[in-house]
Each structure stands twice: as structure tokens, then as C-alpha cells.
Chains A and B, each alone.
Chain A
Amino acid sequence: MAEKIKTYVKERPGIVSKIVLIVFPFAVLLIGLSVGRIGIGLNDVFAAIGRLFSGQEAAGMNDVVIRSMRLPRLLLAALAGAGLSVSGAIFQGLFSNPLATPDTLGVASGSGFGAVLAMLLGFNMTGIQLLAVAFGIIAVMLTALFGKAAPEGRINMVLAGIMVGSLFSALISLVKFTADTESQLPAITYWLLGGMDSAGYGTLLLGAPPIIICLIFFFLIRYRTNLLPLHEDEARSMGVNIKRLRIVCIIGSTMITASCVSMCGQVGWVGLIVPHFCRMLFGSNNVKLIPASISIGAGFMMLVDTLARTISPKEIPISVLTAIIGAPFFILMLRKRGASTFG
């Protein structure tokens, strides 16, 4: 029997791809630690990491740069990349729509509004996160509600998402309008630009746990998430409580998005590009798609962030770079999938 399975299904990813998937993010991490205004040789990077993990004091400039600047920043980029990619993959399943992402569903804008509102009200980081999650969930609920008005209307889901997104963008503008121009407005505007440069271990300590917990959760239930795109009756006939699964997945992917947004602002398009790129390589089975999205998402984001701070003397906002890559990719997807997808 075991041999027969091999003839029926080609194993993707194979062992080589698996190794590449594991090595890729770590390789990018090393490059990211090494490259920058101050170039640090790989040997020195390894030595610095060794000292860090053995609990030794920072020895010299290189250690300080790696410990207090590059490492937290790269860790944040890796978490945001992996998180947004996985939540994109989950949203695409939930709405059985290849164009569903935290951005197109309005979740990112909703979370952004929650975060900005919290800043206006003078909340601390925990408060910012909580409000970001709350408004992210409100946004996705609104999108689902409006999009459902026309049954099976997939284009409607994306249109509803754009509508909800612009509603929350307008609310963000309203918050900026009301904010104190001396103290609050600069902070809000700076934060809205998005970026990894705000990264410190303090931010990570608060924002990372929800992302890591949800990523582990989605990794563990990755087989079950294959049922998300099925019609409700179809999923129930597998003997599975699909409603519960959907609710848990909506909360999980919204929590990831909201945590990312509250740490590094609205970094768009990652949730679209990475899952689709992984689908092209490994197929649509979430057993492979989720781990691949974690690895490639983390590596991609660290790479983009490293580019953002190295290609020009002045740092380019990361959302600009992801949009430059993402927009053409979105159009390519539209052309490739054709109109039928939006039936």
C-alpha cells in the first residue's frame, strides 16, 4: 500500500526543498546581521551571536549594533513576515478567495484604526494591541457581512473589504485631525508610515507572543484548515464542526495581523505575495503551505527590510517596497486566474 501512495501523489516539498525552507530564513538573518551602514563580516557575526547566547557582555561596536539594532529589527521583520503570510493563507481559505488578505479584507486598516485610537487616548502598548485586535475583528466581521449580501459573490468580498478598509482609513484621518499637533500627531504619523525601525526588545516582548502562539496553533491545525474553503454542508458531512473552526481561524489570523500592525504599522501585500508564491511551488495543501509560508514569509520580510535600509542612504519605508513588489503581483494574479475566480 505504501508504495502505491507514492505513485498517486508526488511528494512536494521533497527533502531538498525542506532543507532549503529551513535554511533560507536563517541565511537571510545572517545576511541581515552582516549588511548595513557598518559592514560586519560573517565571522564577526558568528562571534557576536556566540557571545550573546553564552551571556557574555557586548564586546565592541559590532556587538552593540547587532544586539540593540539589527537583531531585534530582523526578528520583528521575521515575525511580521511569517505572521502576515500565514494569516493571508488562512484568510484565503476562509473566504475561498485567492485575493483575500489582511489588506484586502480591511483587517489591516481596522487594526490600524484601533491602534491609532489607542494612541490618541494615551494607552500603553498593551492597550494599543487590544484595541488593534478588537477593531481588526470588527473590520473582518463587517467585510464578511457586506460581502455575504450576494451569495457566492467573491468579487463582492474583496469590494466589501476595500470599502471597509477605506472606512477605517477615513476614521484614521479623523483621529489624526483630532490629535494634538504637538505631541500625538507626529507619533501617529510616524507610526503609520510603517517600518521595523521602532523595534526594540520591549516592543517584541509584547507583540511577539500573540504572533508566535497563533503561528504554532495554525501549524498544529494545518491539516484541519484545508476544510476552510469547503461549503458549510460539505464540511459538516466530514463530521467536523466547521463553524467553530472558522471562528477560531478568524480570531487567530486577526490577532496575528493586529499584533503585526501594532508593532510595525501597515506593511501591505505580504499576505498576498508569499502564500501565492508558496502555492506555485508546493501546491495548495495547507500541510505544506503553512510551514512554507512561515519560512518564506520570514525570509522575504527580512530581505525586504535589509534592502529598505541599505539600498539608499535614507531608509525607504518598508511598505513602499512591498507595494512596489505587491501591486504588479496582484495584477499578474488577476490575469492568471481570470474572471472565473470572481464568479
Chain B
Amino acid sequence: MRLTVSHAFFSYDKTGEPLLSDISFDLQSGEKLAIMGQNGAGKTTLLRCLCGFLKWDKGTATIDGTDISSQSSEKLFKVLSYVPQKRVLPPDISVYDMILMGRAGNIGVFSLPGKADREAADKVIDRMGLGAIAGKSCMTLSGGQYQMVLIARAIVNDPKVMILDEPEANLDYQNQLLVLETIDRLSKDGITCIFNTHFPGNAVRWADKALLIAMDGSYVYDDIKNVITEENMRRFYGVDAVIGTIKGPAGEYTDIIPIQRSKS
């Protein structure tokens, strides 16, 4: 699988400066891309363009050579899947039904889920280890558990690319790790994962590549180590930060600490 975005532009105000300008990147199976930038820089917009919810003004995004925007959503979302930002109040339906809902596109308008759909949901529940909560209502879950359910729903059709909108936002340490470890595991199974995040520390630890967008539409895209630099933190976030390595029991870990807002 190969996902290619080439020279893509997007703006909400078609007469003004584009929000996303000349974006190009290229991902292989199993790569993890973190999309970063300040609030309003266009992270979510980029994800929505990738899913075909918004149309590029110029440029293309292709999966294995097929243009995303030319595909019907029925076809596209068999290859690509989308994990929305979790909402404040999850619906009052069971985890099992929520995961099964990922198959809705395969189920006819006048039909009920069939054997194949139930088996697919079962397989995902096993794969994600959600058996213990499958019968519970989504309303009773913790934020991390609900995020896992949304991820499970997204992989029920065996997608090649998974796009996640701030998957670890509003979660405590343990639940953040639960979600990030899951993304890591799925990428090792060959699913390309694209997620946006407000935590450069999480990106540097869990992503292979990063795309950092500035408010003026410019961006850098490279291997994660080359993107998360003290200079880029100043340029893209207006923050003086230090980046260092910490020795742990199983090796060295890179982390980033924001010190202060840049003076200039």
C-alpha cells in the first residue's frame, strides 16, 4: 500500500490565502504519521481532506494510485477508515453494536447485520481484547475504553489506512498509552496510521514521521527526529523547548519539555 499526497492546496475562503498550501507526502504500509501544529493551523482540515470529506482545491491524494476524491465513499471506506474525536457523551448502545456499526456500509438499507458482519465484529473484539466490555453500554465506558471501541469499529473492515482525529486527547496517562500502544500494534500489522496530536512528546515516541503545519500554511514533513527540534518548536509553536534523552530500564527515551513562550 502506498498513500501519496502531492501538491495539495485547500482553503475555506476560496479568494483568500490557502490554509493548506502545496502539501506533499508519501507513506508506506505500517507507517505512523503525526500531524501537528497550533490550534487553527489546519490539522483537522488536512485529515478531513484525506478522508474526502473536503475536496482539495488543487493537487491529489491517492491510495495505490487511485484518487481518493474520485472514489465513492462506499469503496473508499473499505480501504481507509476514520476514527473521529470522541464526543462528550457516547451513545447509549452496546459496545458490540457500536463495533458492528462499522459494517453499516456493507449492510443493505433494508437489511439487518448478517453472519459475516457478526463474525467480523467478533474477530475485532478478540483482536482488541474487548470481550469483557462487549455487552456494556458505551455510555458507561471510560474515555480510553470508548476510544478503543471507536478504533475497533474503524478496523472492522480491515482497512489499509486509518486516520485518527486527536486519539489521545482528554485522556489520562494510562489511557493515552492504551490508545498509543494500540495504534503501534495496528501499524505493525501493516495498517498505515495518520493521527493529529497536540503532544510533541507522544509524537516523538510513537510516530515514524511528522508533518508540522504553521499558521501561515507552510509546513515541514520528515522523519520524526528531524521534525521535532528545538528550532521547529520555536518556529511552529512560538515556544522555547528543550529536547533530551532519558535513560530508562529498557533503553533511552526522547522527550520534550516546553520552557517558556518565545520572546520574539
CB contact between B110 and one of A4, A221, A340 (< 8 Å): that residue:
A221
Check if A234 sits within 8 Å of B82, measured CB to CB.
Answer: yes
Check if A231 sits within 8 Å of B84, measured CB to CB.
Answer: yes
What CA separation (Å) do A227 and B113 show in the bound complex? 13
Question: Is B88 engaged at the interface, CB distance under 8 Å to the other chain?
Answer: yes
Stretch at the interface among B29-37, B100-108, B186-194: B100-108
Check if A1 sits within 8 Å of B119, measured CB to CB.
Answer: yes
CB contact between B105 and one of A1, A4, A10, A238 (< 8 Å): that residue:
A238
Question: Is B51 engaged at the interface, CB distance under 8 Å to the other chain?
Answer: yes
Closest to B139 in A: A284
Question: Distance (Å) between the CB of A94 and the closest chain B CB?
Answer: 13
Check if A220 sits within 8 Å of B110, measured CB to CB.
Answer: yes
CB neighbours (8 Å) of A2 from chain B are 115
Check if A284 sits within 8 Å of B112, measured CB to CB.
Answer: no
Question: Is B40 engaged at the interface, CB distance under 8 Å to the other chain?
Answer: no
Known: A5-B122, A237-B82, A238-B101. A223 touches B107 (CB 8 A): yes
* 0/1 interface trace, chain A 220-234, chain B, CB 8 Å (1 if under): 110110110111011
Check if A287 sits within 8 Å of B104, measured CB to CB.
Answer: no
| Chain B residues engaging chain A, CB cutoff 8 angstroms | 48, 51, 53, 73-78, 81-82, 84, 87-89, 91-94, 96-97, 101-102, 104-107, 109-113, 115, 118-119, 122, 125-126, 131, 134-135, 137, 154
Check if A343 sits within 8 Å of B88, measured CB to CB.
Answer: yes
Question: Is A96 engaged at the interface, CB distance under 8 Å to the other chain?
Answer: yes
Closest to B119 in A: A1
Question: Is A178 engaged at the interface, CB distance under 8 Å to the other chain?
Answer: no
What CA separation (Å) do A333 and B118 show in the bound complex? 33
What CA separation (Å) do A340 and B53 show in the bound complex? 29
What CA separation (Å) do A284 and B81 show in the bound complex? 25
Name which of B51, B88, B105 has the most chain A CB atoms within 10 A of its CB: B105
A243-296 with Cβ < 8 A to chain B: 279, 283-285, 287
Question: Distance (Å) between the CB of A280 and the closest chain B CB?
Answer: 10
Known: A5-B118, A226-B93, A227-B104. A233 touches B134 (CB 8 A): no
What CA separation (Å) do A220 and B108 show in the bound complex? 10
What CA separation (Å) do A290 and B224 show in the bound complex? 50
CB neighbours (8 Å) of A285 from chain B are 93-94, 97
Check if A226 sits within 8 Å of B135, measured CB to CB.
Answer: no
Check if B96 sits within 8 Å of A8, measured CB to CB.
Answer: yes
CB neighbours (8 Å) of A343 from chain B are 88-89
Question: Is A9 engaged at the interface, CB distance under 8 Å to the other chain?
Answer: yes
What CA separation (Å) do A227 and B91 show in the bound complex? 11
What CA separation (Å) do A231 and B92 show in the bound complex? 15
What CA separation (Å) do A9 and B94 show in the bound complex? 8
Closest to A241 in B: B73
Closest to B150 in A: A234
Closest to B97 in A: A285
Check if A236 sits within 8 Å of B107, measured CB to CB.
Answer: no
Q: List 7 A-B contacts (CB under 8 A).
A: A8-B96, A9-B135, A226-B93, A236-B51, A284-B92, A285-B94, A287-B112
Known: A8-B135, A233-B48, A236-B73. A341 touches B89 (CB 8 A): yes
What CA separation (Å) do A343 and B88 show in the bound complex? 8
CB contact between B97 and one of A1, A221, A226, A229 (< 8 Å): that residue:
A226
Closest to B80 in A: A237
CB neighbours (8 Å) of A1 from chain B are 118-119, 122
Check if B112 sits within 8 Å of A8, measured CB to CB.
Answer: no
CB neighbours (8 Å) of B113 from chain A are 223
Closest to A244 in B: B109
CB neighbours (8 Å) of B76 from chain A are 239
Check if A238 sits within 8 Å of B111, measured CB to CB.
Answer: no
* 0/1 interface trace, chain A 307-336, chain B, CB 8 Å (1 if under): 000000000000000000000000000000
Check if B105 sits within 8 Å of A240, measured CB to CB.
Answer: yes
CB contact between B134 and one of A8, A221, A240 (< 8 Å): that residue:
A8
CB neighbours (8 Å) of B104 from chain A are 223-224, 226-227, 238-240
CB neighbours (8 Å) of B137 from chain A are 283-284
Closest to A4 in B: B122
